[in-house]
Amino acid sequence: MGEMIVRRGFLIYHVLLARCAAVRFPSPWDFLLAGSDCRYPVACPTAVLDGLRRTFSIEILDSAGILERTAHGDLRLLSKLCNPCGAIVGLRDHPRHWPFGLITARGVIGGNRSLIDAQLADATTRQGLLGSGLLFASFSVLEVALLRSLGFAAILCPPFHRLGADDWKTLNQCLAGRDYIPTVESPGTSIDSAKPALVLLAWSPLTATGHISPRLRNAVHSLTLARKHLGLPLAGISLWQPSLQALENLRYRLAFRNTEAIREWVLESATDLRHFSSCELQGSEVGASDTVNQFLAVSAELQRCLAADRDLSYITPRTRQATENYRAVVRRCLTDPLRAWALERHDPMVKNAGTELASVCELVHQLSPVLHELQGRALESLLQGGPDLLPPSLLTQFLRLNACSSSLLRELKR
């Protein structure tokens, strides 16, 4: 019976992934197709759980580790699966097998393996290690999905500050046999081919900028203390922080929307690695979550596209795509979580006010970039002695929607 539950547990992950929308990377990565196992988190937890309960028993659902109890004792889907930040990535030991685990923004679900062991057992990860031997580690599950979609081995960065003495020993044993400090003459020759070299990202692939996660400094501090006090070499753990020139090169290549050109850049840039114990982090830290990064990226791209279309009498395909990406991120990261929260309330007044607020906020966000662009065009026209191009009705509608959202917020706070 226990073995059957485990097998069914794998099937549960497969069914769960199928009920989640496929990941669509924001600009400038919108040309890249995410792998079939890269999915957005559960948007409607109650509906998904009801569907799973019609197929699987509570015992089987619980054995798969996807349930938790509320403060009132009710069962619900694990909050890790419903976190609007990031994504869910399925782990399979063979492409044709059911997933044995799921990577979420808050760790891995499934099995009793450690975070690194579970991700190294994944077939896609093992395939990505061939050739380079580099195992990229990010604090963002979306960046993990991005690198996997490019064909590289990528994992969610382990919570080094939570590791015990045995965990540190395991980490030390499963990585490369000696420090990976490549040289220009022989890049990568110091990698033990039997083991991967762990590469911590000291930049943001998702935004193609030098922004580093605020958690990276804490990770480096934990690694340094373990190396010093536990006497472990922690070999093969390096930091990858591309130069400003390298990042400019990446952004230039992204404009071609060519996956192979990006892969070439990664392989060239990743030869310039430094051991964590011998480098000082430089660049700006951002405390923003994946949600903020996605919203800022698609918003900026839409504004650029709208500005580029100023002299045209039609909407270009690129602007249509940018608009679609922007609206998708608004719904997924901002309004859908609010709508899902409202639908799970027991009070019918709160349920109605919350869902209406989500709809109003969605309209506000749709109008906002258009108004910004029209205001810019109107100011430019007025400075040149032309007419005011900002439609008063559109501005009035925007202000009324904002007033409506404020009223709904006050109602929900009562």
Residues 92, 201 within the same domain: no
Report the CATH number at residue 31.
3.90.980
Residues 81, 126 within the same domain: no
Q: So what's the pLDDT on residue 202?
A: 92
Residues 222, 254 within the same domain: yes
Residues 184, 273 within the same domain: yes
Q: So what's the pLDDT on residue 172?
A: 85
Specify the number of domains making up the chain.
3
Tens digit of pLDDT at every position of the chain (414 positions): 444 444 444 899 999 999 999 999 988 899 999 988 999 999 889 999 999 999 999 998 988 899 998 888 889 999 889 877 789 999 999 888 999 999 998 889 986 677 788 888 999 999 999 878 899 999 999 999 999 999 999 999 988 988 888 888 888 888 864 444 443 333 443 444 468 889 999 999 988 888 888 889 889 999 999 988 998 888 778 899 998 889 999 999 999 999 999 999 999 998 878 888 766 565 544 444 456 667 777 888 888 888 888 777 777 878 888 888 888 888 877 888 888 888 877 788 888 888 899 899 999 888 888 888 777 777 666 666 666 666 777 778 888 888 888 888 888 776
Q: Which two tokens stand for residue 210?
A: 């030098």
**One-letter amino acid for residue 187 of the chain:** P
Residues 297, 340 within the same domain: yes
Q: So what's the pLDDT on residue 367?
A: 86
Residues 218, 90 within the same domain: no
Residues 122, 251 within the same domain: yes
- Note the Cα 230 to chain centre separation in Å: 33
Q: So what's the pLDDT on residue 280?
A: 59
Q: Which two tokens stand for residue 194?
A: 């039997």
Render pLDDT for 121-158 as a digit per residue (tens, 0 to 9).
999 999 999 878 899 999 999 999 999 999 999 999 98
Residues 406, 354 within the same domain: yes
> By CB neighbour count within 10 A (0-12 exposed, 13-18 middle, 19+ buried), where does 178 fall?
middle
- Separation CA 240–CA 283 (nearest Å): 12
- Separation CA 210–CA 283 (nearest Å): 6
**One-letter amino acid for residue 227 of the chain:** R
User: Which pTM does this prediction carry?
Assistant: 0.69
Residues 137, 84 within the same domain: no
Residues 96, 121 within the same domain: no
Spatial contact of 324 and 344, defined as CB atoms under 8 Å apart: no
Last residue of a domain, one of 88, 112, 136: 112
Last residue of a domain, one of 287, 315, 334: 287
| Residue 107 neighbours by CB under 8 Å, 6+ apart | 80, 115, 156, 159
Residue 297's domain spans which residues?
A: 290-413
Residues 95, 212 within the same domain: no
Last residue of a domain, one of 65, 87, 112: 112
Q: What secondary structure letter does DSSP report for 261?
A: H
Angle between helices 141-149 and 290-308 (to 10 degrees): 60
Residues 68, 19 within the same domain: yes
